[in-house]
Amino acid sequence: MATLQSTEGVRWSTEVVAGTVLLSALTAVAAAILIARGA
């Protein structure tokens, strides 16, 4: 049970990190497009 909980915790953390990185990438791309259009 402890191993299963640990695995779930790692999986959850990985999903959160991946989601944060993806969100940051999308935000950076959106900002770059806005800056390009503004310039």
Per-residue pLDDT of the chain (39 residues; tens, 9 = 90+): 567 778 888 999 999 999 999 999 999 999 999 999 997
- The whole-number pLDDT of residue 9 equals 87
Report the amino acid identity of residue 22.
Answer: L
For the question of whether the overall pTM of this predicted structure is more than 0.85, the answer is no
Count of helices and strands (H, E) across the chain: 1, 0
Residue corresponding to tokens 């299963």: 4
